[in-house]
Amino acid sequence: MEALYKHQIDFISYMQRLLQEGDFSSTYKFAFLHALADICIERDVPSNGQLVISFDEIVEKLILLYWQHAKPFFVEGEQLQGGILLQNSGKQAKIIADIIELQDSGARNLTQAKASTFWPQIYRNTLDTLKKGPLWRLQILSKQEDCYLFPHIKNRNYIELNPGIADCFRQFHDLVVQFARQGWIEKVSKIQENQSVIGRAGELSDFLFGTSRNSLKIAADLLKDIQHGNCFYCGKPLNEKAEVDHFIPFTKYNNDLAHNFVLAHRVCNNNKRDYLAAPLHRENWQDQNLVVHEDKITKELSAYFVCDAKRIAQVANWAYDIAEKNGNKFWFKTKDVFV
Ligand SMILES: [Zn+2]
């Protein structure tokens, strides 16, 4: 237990150093760190603790993380200002131009992007960027490479996390993602050319890491049908103030996987906040979204969201494991009833 404890302190200290001493001239390193944290909770960690992550996985995740960033930023309800945010001091990041090309070709999400004729080239470009930059720059602290997370070995198309690192990413996922996003937002807002486009920082955060409202409307219609017009949590008929809820809270896992959505009363949704729902709700969610309606959700929503029931099931395992380990309470119903 003591050894494990020290290991966790080391991990957090390393993260702190990384963000303080690292050189972040572009946002790639934040994206890469975010990607690593996400992949660690989407996968099972092998018994030797050394998770192998292919460049394929990382490239896809980077494209996914930058997807929203390639759209023109504007403040909801105000006139479109039509600027795409720079991710680099100086020249725009290559990945943004590439994603714009994918989006212009009609791809609305990663699944469609992968089917696009532009994909192979953009995949190669992103791989190239990864290898030249964040792959080895991430672990440079005060100008020296410190391969605490993974050894930096050339001529491989994967990385192998050092023992215990994947478990730390799982344990501290929220923290690492917050670190990465905060740094990312700060970087984007400090770039001078962006300042004429950006209004308020809160809105920038929603834009960079939020969910498209139009797509949520489509998910809401489908869920209303699946749930027979009832609230997922309390089972009572929905009114016009129904909201799409991320079953595994968005603050814990910041990717919109279609199978993670349920429809709830605004009151129920607001009361649940960022808590995990009680195990009984989890059973119902698995039954509804991952078994009975798995195919239907994929069929109806794959044009708008990533559909991967297996992945969200893994993420749920992760979230509930950690919550149980930490002795967290689970939200059960409105008026703050926990179990
Ligand atoms: Zn309700």
Spatial neighbors of 268 by CB under 8 A, at least 6 apart, are 231, 232, 233, 234, 245, 333, 334
Task: Check whether residue 220 and residue 183 sit in a common domain.
Answer: no
- Mean pLDDT in residue range 143-158: 92
Q: Cα(275) to centroid of ligand 1, in Å?
A: 15
Report the percent of the chain where pLDDT is more than 90.
62
Q: What tokens appear for 223 in the block? A: 């869920």
Q: Does pLDDT of 102 surpass 60?
A: yes
Q: Does pLDDT of 279 surpass 90?
A: yes
- The confidence band for 82, taking pLDDT boundaries of 50, 70 and 90, is low
Q: Cα(278) to centroid of ligand 1, in Å?
A: 14
Task: Check whether residue 248 and residue 142 sit in a common domain.
Answer: no
Spatial neighbors of 59 by CB under 8 A, at least 6 apart, are 123, 126, 127, 130
Q: Cα(277) to centroid of ligand 1, in Å?
A: 13
Task: Check whether residue 225 and residue 140 sit in a common domain.
Answer: no
Q: Cα(271) to centroid of ligand 1, in Å?
A: 10
Task: Check whether residue 202 and residue 238 sit in a common domain.
Answer: no
Q: Does pLDDT of 83 surpass 80?
A: no
Give the domain-ending residue among 187, 208, 229.
Answer: 208
Q: Cα(221) to centroid of ligand 1, in Å?
A: 16
Q: Cα(235) to centroid of ligand 1, in Å?
A: 6
Phi and psi angles of residue 78, each rounded to the nearest 5 degrees, phi first: -110, 170
pLDDT digits (tens, 9 = 90+) for 301-320: 988 888 899 999 999 999 99
Range of the domain at 72: 2-208
Question: DSSP labels for 116-136?
Answer: STTHHHHHHHHHHHHHHTHHH
Task: Check whether residue 177 and residue 290 sit in a common domain.
Answer: no
Q: What tokens appear for 241 in the block? A: 């103030």
pLDDT digits (tens, 9 = 90+) for 21-54: 887 778 999 999 999 999 999 999 998 889 999 9
Question: Total structural domains in the chain?
Answer: 2
- Mean pLDDT in residue range 186-207: 75
Q: Cα(245) to centroid of ligand 1, in Å?
A: 11
Task: Check whether residue 160 and residue 12 sit in a common domain.
Answer: yes
Q: Cα(233) to centroid of ligand 1, in Å?
A: 5
Q: Cα(329) to centroid of ligand 1, in Å?
A: 19
Q: Cα(215) to centroid of ligand 1, in Å?
A: 22
Q: Cα(198) to centroid of ligand 1, in Å?
A: 37
Q: Cα(301) to centroid of ligand 1, in Å?
A: 23
Report the percent of the chain where pLDDT is more than 70.
94
Does 215 or 226 have the greater pLDDT score?
A: 226
Q: Does pLDDT of 13 surpass 70?
A: yes
Q: Cα(256) to centroid of ligand 1, in Å?
A: 22
Give the domain-ending residue among 180, 208, 236.
Answer: 208
Q: Cα(315) to centroid of ligand 1, in Å?
A: 24
Task: Check whether residue 228 and residue 87 sit in a common domain.
Answer: no
Task: Check whether residue 67 and residue 186 sit in a common domain.
Answer: yes
Q: What is the mean pLDDT of the chain?
A: 89
Q: Cα(297) to centroid of ligand 1, in Å?
A: 21
Q: Cα(269) to centroid of ligand 1, in Å?
A: 8
> Position 291: which residue type?
V
